[in-house]
Amino acid sequence: MNVITNPGKLRGIERRVQVEKISRRGILKGLGIAGGFVLAAPVMTRQAFAYKTGAGDMPHGTVADPRVFVAIASDGTVTIVAHRAEMGTGVRTSLPMIVAEEMEADWSRVKVQQAHGDEVRFGNQDTDGSRSTRHYLLPMRQIGASARAMLEAAAAKRWGVPAAEVKAVNHEVVHSATSRRLGFGELAADAAKEPVPNVEGLKLKNPKDFRYLGKGQIGIVDLRDITVGAAQYGGDVTLPGTKYAVIARPPVTGGKLKSFDATDAMKVSGVEKVMEVQGWPWPSKFQPVGGVAVIARNTGAAIKGRDALKIVWDDGANGKYESTAYRTQIEEAARKPGLVVRKEGDVDAALKGADKVIVGEYYLPHLAHVAMEPPVALANVKDGRCEIWAPVQSPGGTREDVAKTLGIPQENVTVNVTLLGGGFGRKSKCDFAIEAALLSKAIGAPVKVQWTREDDIRNGFLHTVSAERIEAGLDKSGKVVAWRHRSVAPSIASTFAPNAVHQAPFELGMGLIDMPFEIANIQCENPEAAAHTRTGWFRAVSNIPRAFAVQSMVGELAHATKRDQKDMLLELIGSPRIVKLDSVKDPWNYGEPYDSYPIDTARLRRVVEVVADKGGWGRAMPKGHGLGIAAHRSFVSYIATIVEVSVGAKGQLVVHRVDTAIDCGTFVNPERIESQIEGAAIMGLSLAKYGEITFKDGKVQQGNFDDFPVIRMDEAPLITHVHIVPADADAPPSGVGEPGVPPFAPALINAIFAATGKRIRALPIGKQLET
Amino acid sequence: MIKVKVNGQQRDWDGDPDLPLLWYLRDEIGLTGTKFACGQALCGACTVIVNKQAIRACVTSVSDVVDREITTIEGLHPTGDHAVQKAWRQVNVPQCGFCQTGQIMQAAALLMENPKPNHDQIREAMAGNICRCGCYQRIENAVHLASTGV
Ligand code: FES
Ligand code: FES
């Protein structure tokens, strides 16, 4: 029997040793036996929500069964399963904390156990789209409340009193009439025998009795491990006999291996084998692109071996992709009519009849995610089974893809999710895990595939490149009466389907068709754009170029009509109302029902007003300083940002202060919201100042942090203030991880304009301020 | 055969003397607290302390550190309670955490050299360490806290 009485001991070296013998499934099972809740067959419950979310429409929906998520050991240790991936948002703490809150568990006696990939058992695990809290606040509360009810029922039976007379309080159940109390550990075995209560009949805690939720007092569960080097990321798990591999991949998307010469590579000390890795033709979805693998006794030897390879590639159809020419092409496309994706009134007539038309043309290049941890995965394929340890955002998807690729049933694949050293959307794609599985199968040993930074930048799934063009028509009084926005960008759909030239609904819905301004004549268009490299989700996705264009245009309009930026913004947002998107075929709305998550301009106005107030909008500026503002709704949250900059005589940009107000509905962990928003400002500044991936002859021209720089501490904003706008009590939770990014760059650019009179319309800023 | 001393423990290495110390630590002796993120001395994720100085293990060969005292995050403090580690926890610095061991080693080395750095000195000394999650404000505050106690 596989009993682990103290899962907390499974740390660091010990955990590394244990991990080989005990699969995650084993650990869960062991906990069940050691504790009270014996894991039953998976029960899938599609919940009736107090407010509706799109959670039930996600693959495999949600599971709200306490027997799947909670185990209580006889010593009282409560183990709560975290089924979403931790990439820095704090979700591995926040979701279990919700369960602990509802079940009255004492957080100091809670252990968090990471779930392996199994969506039938745990519900959807695809950690992206800023969805975790949004989709799981209620199910996690229900799980906790069910566990609490089962513990209370067990105690009531033991004492022979009605269940209504007992109450769970801080890790014990109390019968106050007789001052009797029993700890959770003492009740665990009996509680497990109680039926799981019906969700409809559950009594959730009154929010005013919350001990943890909304308080922000609890550090992340991995805090100590992280600071002592014991936290395990993708590359930190090793099995006996592990071989280390790096892969040379085709430098052009869709390219293929022609031939290779491994003679010199094989001479490198430590190199054991060089072999071809299977690749899939473009569009290759999340499958590997193929190449040549060098397998060695350690990663350093493998890298050195790869440097010594001589390879001839066939570049294929994308060998001519060149960024300067492509930019011209999409900018031209933005000047011509394209597929109409939203239409209200008659924009052509209104522009023709306008007193003044302001045109803004904006360009944003490809970006690489450069999560601090490059992709890495360990796979062990043996006897028709495969076990994987990898930092994947979607362990369920990984399991499915690995099984399909290896041609084995999903039940034979176990995907263990390590911590992710950042994800930002890159690790939604599991190509690196598939590579490890293919190599392990081929050589019959565990294989760890490590991507170098160069691999990450040159063979990733880049953020799209885009041209945005907005024409705004003003009447005599300066009121905006016409708005045409054309957005031209290769679609993520091109990674899945050949010849996808239009944006998918989920891309159109990120800042284009959901534009909230109150303007009589609105038209949004999406001219065609062909893709020549793999594109993928990048934190906040299409919201980055759209918010940049729309909010820069607000600044341009304010200047043209001599108005204050914030006043102009509020005027454009218009009256407090629910925006109607009747002319849009598929409004998408982040997958959420519009009734629960409408575009509510009152909330957008409110974050603007709050940030203006708290951020000191209109305060006197020293010479050379300027303030800029931008607001954007994304991932069904509302954000507004003010940036204060100064620009020196030689163009030196200093960000003195950032203020961001966020309304993300009901929230769980304000401390992590703050850290996400602080980080979003840095990522926003990185992409605004430096972010640019360019192509020549089909190849990415950058490779590391020297030619694809990101912000370092010496140029980070001097201070970032985060203002969380409390939402109405019944406001459903909304996204936090991504929405902080989009408004930053336009607020910065508007601030630079205020400081210098220079309007930047193409990112990155690069040397534009120097001239 | 090369003799290497890591966290006070003497070891022998009979492989490639040019092997970057990073991969020796991670893959050969299982000290995975030291991270790989750029391999080109551009990010600081692999920072370890050698003779009281922060160095980048990704560009340092094993043969370069013969007869030196190498300290990795695992050996920074016996119970993980170095002033810098404690400050990091108090300020809730990490997001994903991946860069943090390198940041902590860099900060520890800074405080050995300059026990009371001011904010400009902190920002300058820590500028070689990238945090893609953007925890800089908290890193700065944590270094300050570790050096001053407030
Ligand atoms: S990995 Fe060594 S400095 Fe980046
Ligand atoms: S905490 Fe994620 S890179 Fe620094």
Pick the CATH number of B83-148 from 1.10.10.10, 3.90.580.10, 1.10.150.120, 3.40.190.10: 1.10.150.120
DSSP state of A410: G
Q: How far is ligand 2, taken at its centre, from the CA of residue A241, in Å?
A: 30
Cα separation, A448 vs A379, whole angstroms: 6
For the cut 60, the answer to whether the pLDDT of residue A18 exceeds it is no
Q: Of B28, B26, B25, B73, which Cα lies nearest the Cα of B49?
A: B73
Q: Does domain B2-75 match CATH 3.30.70.360?
A: no
Return the bridge partners of A289, or none. Answer: A279
For residue A437, name the pLDDT band (cuts at 50, 70, 90): very high
Among the residue ranges A41-45, A131-135, A588-592, the one predicted with the least confidence is A41-45
User: What is the pLDDT, as a whole number, of residue A750?
Assistant: 98
Joined tokens for residue A87? 């990439």
C-alpha atoms less than 13 angstroms from C-alpha of A705 in its C-beta half-sphere: 24
Cα separation, A736 vs A670, whole angstroms: 10
For residue A31, name the pLDDT band (cuts at 50, 70, 90): very low
pLDDT, tens only, A319-361: 999 999 999 999 999 999 999 999 999 999 999 999 999 999 9
Kindly list the domain boundaries of chain B, sorted by start residue.
Answer: 2-75, 83-148
Cα A290–A291–A294 angle (5° rounding)?
125
CA quadruple A548, A554, A555, A557: dihedral, nearest 10: 140
For the cut 70, the answer to whether the pLDDT of residue A666 exceeds it is yes
A591-596: average pLDDT: 95
CA quadruple A301, A307, A313, A319: dihedral, nearest 10: 120
For the cut 80, the answer to whether the pLDDT of residue A80 exceeds it is yes
How far is residue A20 CA from its own chain's centroid?
A: 30
Tokens 């799980």 belong to residue: A143
Cα separation, A33 vs A28, whole angstroms: 9
Please, what's the b/e burial string for A432-463 (b: 16 or more CB within 10 A of its CB; e: otherwise)?
A: bbbbbbbbbbbbebbbbbbbbbbbbbbbbbbb
SS3 category, A719? coil
Mutant choice from A272, A418, A713 vs B, greatest count of B C-beta within 10 A: A713
User: What is the pLDDT, as a whole number, of residue A45?
Assistant: 35
Cα separation, A653 vs A540, whole angstroms: 25
Express as a percent the part of chain A with pLDDT over 90: 91
CA distances to A80, A718, A756, A764 from A649, rounded to whole Å, are 56, 20, 10, 19
Q: What residues in B contact A232, CB-CB < 8 Å?
A: 32
The CB density around residue B6, as the number of other CB atoms within 10 Å, is 21
Q: Which amino acid is at A61?
A: G
A44-54: average pLDDT: 58
The dihedrals phi and psi of A648, each to the nearest 5 degrees, come to -75, 175
Q: How far is ligand 2, taken at its centre, from the CA of residue A214, in Å?
A: 24
A434-440: average pLDDT: 98
Predicted model pTM:
0.94
pLDDT, tens only, A702-727: 999 999 999 999 999 999 999 999 88
Tokens 């304009």 belong to residue: A753
Nearest atom in ligand 1 to B130's CA: 4
pLDDT, tens only, A444-467: 999 999 999 999 999 999 999 999
Q: How far is ligand 2, taken at its centre, from the CA of residue B136, in Å?
A: 9
B53-66: average pLDDT: 97
Q: How far is ligand 1, taken at its centre, from the CA of residue A299, in Å?
A: 14
Contact A720 B137 (CB under 8 A): yes
pLDDT, tens only, A181-218: 999 999 999 999 999 999 889 999 999 999 999 999 99
Among the residue ranges A12-26, A332-346, B51-65, the one predicted with the least confidence is A12-26
Cα separation, A294 vs A265, whole angstroms: 8
Joined tokens for residue A372? 């601090």
Q: What residues in A contact B32, CB-CB < 8 Å?
A: 229, 232, 235-236, 238
The answer for residues whose C-beta is within 8 angstroms of residue B120's C-beta and 6 or more apart is: none
CA quadruple A210, A214, A215, A220: dihedral, nearest 10: 110
State whether the beta carbon of B133 lies less than 6 angstroms from ligand 2: yes
Tokens 């034979």 belong to residue: A412
Q: Which amino acid is at A377?
A: A
Cα separation, B134 vs B145, whole angstroms: 19
Peptide bond into A283 cis (omega under 30): yes
Mutant choice from B6, B23, B59 vs A, greatest count of A C-beta within 10 A: B23
pLDDT, tens only, A523-575: 999 999 999 999 999 999 999 999 999 999 999 999 999 999 999 999 999 99
For chain B, what is the mean pLDDT?
97
Return the bridge partners of A466, or none. Answer: A364
CB within 8 Å of chain B, chain A residues 280-339: 297-301, 303-304
How far is residue A204 CA from its own chain's centroid?
A: 29
pLDDT, tens only, A417-426: 999 999 999 9
Peptide bond into A764 cis (omega under 30): yes
A276-292: average pLDDT: 96
The domains of chain A, with CATH numbers, are 49-228 (3.30.365.10), 234-317+375-450 (3.30.365.10), 323-368+461-756 (3.30.365.10)
Sequence-ordered alpha helix ranges (H) in A407-522: 431-443, 453-458, 505-508
User: What is the pLDDT, as a whole number, of residue A50?
Assistant: 67
User: What is the pLDDT, as a whole number, of residue A51?
Assistant: 83
DSSP state of A46: P
A400-405: average pLDDT: 98
For the cut 80, the answer to whether the pLDDT of residue A373 exceeds it is yes
CB within 8 Å of chain A, chain B residues 65-84: 72-74, 76, 80
Q: Which amino acid is at A143?
A: I
Cα separation, A442 vs B45, whole angstroms: 32
Cα separation, B136 vs B138, whole angstroms: 5
Cα separation, A217 vs A278, whole angstroms: 49
Cα separation, B56 vs B39, whole angstroms: 9
CA quadruple A91, A97, A103, A105: dihedral, nearest 10: 140
User: What is the pLDDT, as a whole number, of residue A254?
Assistant: 96
Return the bridge partners of A463, or none. Answer: A367
Backbone torsion region of residue A210, taken as left when φ is above 0, otherwise alpha when ψ lies between -120 and 50, otherwise beta? beta
The answer for residues whose C-beta is within 8 angstroms of residue A235's C-beta and 6 or more apart is: A373, A376, A378, A448, A450, B26, B32, B36
B97, closest residue in chain A (CA to CA):
A226
Do residues A345 and A522 lie in contact, with contact meaning Cβ atoms separated by under 8 Å?
A: yes
- Residue A390, H or E segment: strand A385-390
SS3 category, A640? strand
Cα separation, A545 vs A510, whole angstroms: 9
- Residue A78, H or E segment: strand A78-82
Q: What residues in B contact A680, CB-CB < 8 Å?
A: 134
Cα A187–A188–A191 angle (5° rounding)?
80
Do residues A489 and A362 lie in contact, with contact meaning Cβ atoms separated by under 8 Å?
A: no
Q: How far is ligand 2, taken at its centre, from the CA of residue B131, in Å?
A: 5
**Is some CB atom of chain B closer than 8 A to the CB atom of A698?**
no
DSSP state of B40: S
Q: What residues in A contact B30, CB-CB < 8 Å?
A: 13, 16, 238
DSSP state of A536: -
SS3 category, A97? helix
- Residue A666, H or E segment: none
Express as a percent the part of chain A with pLDDT over 70: 94
Largest CA distance in chain A: 83
Q: Of A455, A417, A389, A436, which Cα lies nearest the Cα of A87?
A: A417
For the cut 60, the answer to whether the pLDDT of residue B56 exceeds it is yes
pLDDT, tens only, A219-240: 999 999 999 999 999 999 999 9
Cα separation, A65 vs A464, whole angstroms: 39
Sign of the dihedral through C-alpha A103, A107, A110, A115:
positive
Do residues A239 and A378 lie in contact, with contact meaning Cβ atoms separated by under 8 Å?
A: yes
DSSP state of A75: T
For the cut 60, the answer to whether the pLDDT of residue A60 exceeds it is yes
Pocket test for ligand 1, best of B32, B34, B40 (most atoms within 8 A of CB): B40
Nearest atom in ligand 2 to B96's CA: 2
SS3 category, A757? coil
Largest CA distance in chain B: 48
Q: What residues in B contact A370, CB-CB < 8 Å?
A: 132
The residue ranges of DSSP E strands in A492-610, in sequence order, are: 521-526
Residue A501 burial by CB count (10 A; 0-12/13-18/19+): exposed, middle or buried?
Answer: middle
Tokens 């200047």 belong to residue: A559
- Per DSSP, chain B holds a count of helices (H) and strands (E) of 5, 5
For the cut 60, the answer to whether the pLDDT of residue A180 exceeds it is yes
Cα separation, A191 vs A196, whole angstroms: 10
The answer for residues whose C-beta is within 8 angstroms of residue A5's C-beta and 6 or more apart is: A34, A73, A75
ipTM here: 0.99
